[in-house]
Structure formats: C-alpha cells, structure tokens
C-alpha cells in the first residue's frame, strides 16, 4: 500500500465508518437468514450450525478444539453436541491414541444437513460476489481478515496452511 493510499484513508469520516458498521450489521443478518430458516424447521439454532460447520471442516476434531474455535464453554457446547449425537447427525468416537478424547464426525444425515445449510449460504454469497465483481471480492476478504481478533485469525489461517 502506497503512502498516497494511506493519506486518502485519512479522509474516512466517522460518518463513513458508522455506515460501514451498519453495513456489517445488516449484512450479517442477511448472511445468517437462510440457514436460520432451515435450522428452525428442524428445531435447531445457530449454535448447532456452528458445530456442524466446524466438524465438517475438520472431521475428527476433538471437543477441546471445537471449544477453542467457537469460544464458548464446554457446558454450552455439550448441550448442542448431545442433541446432535442423539439425533444421529454427529458421531463421537473415542480417541484412538488418547482415549480421553472424543473425535467428532458428521454422519450421513449430518453431512446432508451441512450441505443444505452451506448450499444456501454459498448461494447468497456467490450472488453477492457476482454482483460486486472480483475486485470487490478480494477487498472484502482482505478487510474481513483484518477485522478478526489475532487469536481467531489463527484458527482461520490454520486451515489455509493445511492445504
């Protein structure tokens, strides 16, 4: 980034920043709207979605890993996981090396719901990206990364390096 660009950013008024803050608020609502509808049909909430999402992203992840990523207490996560296991969407296997650990996997049913949820979310995301154009998309991702807490960003970056 050049000095000239830096300078121009100084002209971002508080009012413009306030608008960006509101955009974030309204956009997040849009972002969660479709999954929320699907989840509500099945008596689940966003907490279930988050668990399903990250188990799908990292099959075999442990409960502790999930806690760190989600930033909730184990009591809170446990409540959600229990219902997902009872309903046959998630499988909890005793750790092969360390038998205290539970490794989490989506069942076929769980993977089906995950697909439905992320299809809906991807469809909206893809539409927004198409309308905004590729330059906007890379700017979007750039800004989002810089908005994360460093700790959260680590979890985010971790996957990138996995591949």
Partner DNA sequence: TTGGAATGTCAACAAGGCTGACTTAATTTG
Partner DNA sequence: CAAATTAAGTCAGCCTTGTTGACATTCCAA
- By CB under 8 A, what part of segment 79-98 binds a second copy? none
Q: Which does 128 bind (CB under 5 to 8 A by kind): DNA, a second copy, none?
A: a second copy
Asked if residue 149 binds a second copy (CB under 8 A), the reply is: yes
Please choose, out of 47-55, 120-128, 133-141, 154-162, the segment that lies near DNA by the rule CB under 7 A: 47-55
Please, what is the minimum distance in Å from the beta carbon of residue 99 to DNA?
4
Torsion of CA 86, 98, 114, 80, to 10 degrees: 40
Nearer to DNA, 36 or 128 (CB): 36
Residue 11 main-chain phi, psi, to 5 deg: -85, 0
Q: Assess 153 for contact with a second copy (CB under 8 A).
A: yes
Beta strands in the chain (DSSP E): 61-62, 90-94, 102-106
- Using rule CB under 7 A, residue 41 touches DNA: no
Taking the C-alpha atoms of residue 98 and residue 26, their distance in angstroms, rounded to an integer, is 44
Residue 104 gets which letter from DSSP? E
Residues 58-117 that bind DNA (CB under 7 A): 62-64, 67, 71-82, 92, 94-95, 97-102
71 dihedral zone (left: phi>0; alpha: psi -120 to 50; beta): left
């Amino acid at each position: 980034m050049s000095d000239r660009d830096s300078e121009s950013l100084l002209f971002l008024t508080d009012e413009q920043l306030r608008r960006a803050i509101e955009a974030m608020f309204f956009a997040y609502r849009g972002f969660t709207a479709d999954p929320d509808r699907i989840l509500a049909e099945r008596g689940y909430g966003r907490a279930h979605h988050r668990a399903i999402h990250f188990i799908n992203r990292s099959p075999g992840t442990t409960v502790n890993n999930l806690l760190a990523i989600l930033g909730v207490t184990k009591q809170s996560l446990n409540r959600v996981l229990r219902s997902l296991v009872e309903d046959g969407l998630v499988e909890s296997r005793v750790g092969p090396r360390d038998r205290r650990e539970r490794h989490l996997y989506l069942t076929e049913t769980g993977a089906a719901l995950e697909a439905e949820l992320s299809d809906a979310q991807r469809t909206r995301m893809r539409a927004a990206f198409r309308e905004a154009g590729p330059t906007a998309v890379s700017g979007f991702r750039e800004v989002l990364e810089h908005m994360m807490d460093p700790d959260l960003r680590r979890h985010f970056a971790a996957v990138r390096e996995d591949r």
